[in-house]
Structure 1
Amino acid sequence: MVYLIHKSTKDYLGDNYTTQLQPAGVAQGHVGIGIRAIDAMASMLRYNMYNLDFGFKP
């Protein structure tokens, strides 16, 4: 079950469901949302931001 918390999410899905998400299928809609979420996190997050020592080198 998905609950829409932010109004912009509801607006986006309402505006784009019939034109973009429905023809491509539900799975494609999930892929698009997932890719945008990962891109947003990748642009803000930094690997090992506190320079923690893990005790080994991968």
Structure 2
Amino acid sequence: MDSSSQLVVVTGGSQGIGRALVERFLRAGYAVATCARSAPDLARLAAALAPAAPAALHT
């Protein structure tokens, strides 16, 4: 499957298994949309991962 045109939605993406999935899908070339209960946790996630894939992570 061509990952460049695929969007993955991960709930609970700021920590634990959700974060691991976000990281893995970004490395595989997918665009990722994620949400979490904590806005500060999402901001930290974006700060940590967006430099590697600035157009691929949507929080």
Q: TM-score, normalised by structure 1?
A: 0.31
Q: TM-score, normalised by structure 2?
A: 0.31
From the CA coordinates, give the structure whose radius of gyration is larger. Answer: 1
More strand by share: 2
